[in-house]
Amino acid sequence: MINPKPYLMKNGIWAVKGTSAETGINLFRIVGKQKPKIGQSRFEAFKNLFTSRQCECDKIC
């Protein structure tokens, strides 16, 4: 998700609005009653864990 922003709905539930990194469409995810902390998402942290490793062919894969 690119540019995630917290969003408070009318019923008092928090959500996160943003844009898909792959397709560019708008995303909306309901997260609960507590305001979300916007930082590096779990997916981005997991993705960075594997993309920063050195491959056998001396390329960053």
Of the chain, the end-to-end C-alpha distance in Å amounts to 21
pLDDT digits (tens, 9 = 90+) for 4-61: 888 889 999 899 898 888 888 998 988 888 887 776 556 665 565 555 555 566 665 5
The answer to whether 35 and 50 have CB atoms below 8 angstroms apart is no
What pLDDT, on a 0 to 100 scale, did the predictor assign at position 54?
58
pLDDT of amino acid 26: 92
Give the Cα-Cα-Cα angle 19, 50, 20 (nearest 5 degrees): 5
